[in-house]
Amino acid sequence: MKHVLVIYYTQTGQQREILDRLLSPLAADPEVELTFHQIKPVADYPFPWDGHSFFDAFPESFLQLPCELEPVEDDILQRDYDLIVLGYQVWYLSPSIPFNSFLKSEAAHRLLHGKPVVTVINCRNMWVMAHEKVKRLLHDIGASHVGHIARVDRHLNHVSVITIVHWMMTGRKDAYLGIFPKPGVSDKDIAQSDQFGTPILAHVKRGDYSTLQAELLERGAVMIRPVLVFTDKRANTLFAKWAKLIRSKGGPGSSVRKPWLKAFNYYLLFAIWVLAPIVSLLFLILHLPFLSFIKKETKYYKSVHFKMPR
């Protein structure tokens, strides 16, 4: 019997829906036992969000400051696993606060150290730098990162901005105004996620994950858009300044930092609707001399390798 542990955080339920579909080949195999653990903050984040709480999560999310979590069950901690699957989302270009908090916990070190790990991300579209932060945490734990799958919203950037805000603020995953597409990962992409479970199952049974990521990539598990990587990197630089400034004014819920959160809100609107198109245009104009570098970088971001920052 092979034992697979699935650890995830979700507010909307989409993460669990993707994981259930993706791992359905394993669930159907009598020689594999799946165990699920949902990460739960002691004081969970609201869904749907309200405007203040949504922006109040920004500094701690970007700076990767952990929150307190409900403990992992003892029977999960005491078992040995052949594979661990981690499901997470991106909040403000970083892994979500609950997921980041788990990876920084003693329970994560106990469960993941020396174990093969597959990461499954579901998000709007900009995830590469957040995943580099996850790679770093897995490296620090001593986990063996053997596979990565990214399920993203495929719609145009500014269309997905409108639809995701509608979903997060109302809790409704429907067509905004009846004219926009449904937010989040498409039903089709969720339904087709089981194609990635087939090679995962084969590697679990063999106990050898050396070629797993290559096989996942052949099935389209990771798609990289270089222009979004370019934007992601530059946004990380600016977000760092804002996050440190707002955090210096007080912790979550502090009234002192409310004006600064409001200022960040206005900056974010400006960045999305004005700066991002300019950055994208500059990338399209200037990228040709750097094609070889971009191709090399894209190959790296599709992989499960981690390069320690200099």
Residue-wise pLDDT for 47-80, tens only, equals: 999 989 999 999 999 999 999 999 999 999 999 9
Tell me the average pLDDT of the chain: 95
Structure tokens at 157: 């950037």
The span from the CA of 176 to the CA of 180, in Å, is 5
Q: Are residues 126 and 203 in the same domain?
A: yes
Q: Domain count for the chain, please give it.
A: 2
The helix/strand/coil state of 21 is helix
Domain boundary among the residues 199, 223, 247 is at 223
Q: Hey, CA dihedral for 120, 123, 127, 130, is it positive or negative?
A: negative
How large a percentage of the chain has pLDDT more than 90? 85
- 262-270 long-range contacts, CB within 8 A, separation 24+: 262/55, 264/55, 264/58, 265/51, 265/55, 267/242
Name the residue among 175, 189, 246, 188 with its Cα closest to residue 221: 189
Residue-wise pLDDT for 232-241, tens only, equals: 999 999 999 9
Q: Are residues 64 and 11 in the same domain?
A: yes
Domain boundary among the residues 204, 223, 242 is at 223
Q: Are residues 29 and 83 in the same domain?
A: yes
Looking at residue 306, what is its pLDDT? 94
- Residue 56 domain boundaries: 2-223
The reply to whether 219 falls in a domain is yes
The span from the CA of 96 to the CA of 91, in Å, is 5
DSSP 158-171: HHHHHHHHHHHHH-
The reply to whether 93 falls in a domain is yes
Name the residue among 266, 17, 18 with its Cα closest to residue 120: 18
Residue 176: which pLDDT band, with cuts at 50, 70 and 90? confident
The span from the CA of 144 to the CA of 200, in Å, is 15
Q: Are residues 170 and 271 in the same domain?
A: no
Q: Are residues 212 and 132 in the same domain?
A: yes
The reply to whether 265 falls in a domain is yes
Domain boundary among the residues 178, 204, 223 is at 223
Looking at residue 221, what is its pLDDT? 97
The span from the CA of 16 to the CA of 20, in Å, is 6
Q: Are residues 91 and 237 in the same domain?
A: no
Q: Are residues 211 and 235 in the same domain?
A: no
Looking at residue 281, what is its pLDDT? 85
Looking at residue 109, what is its pLDDT? 97
The reply to whether 208 falls in a domain is yes
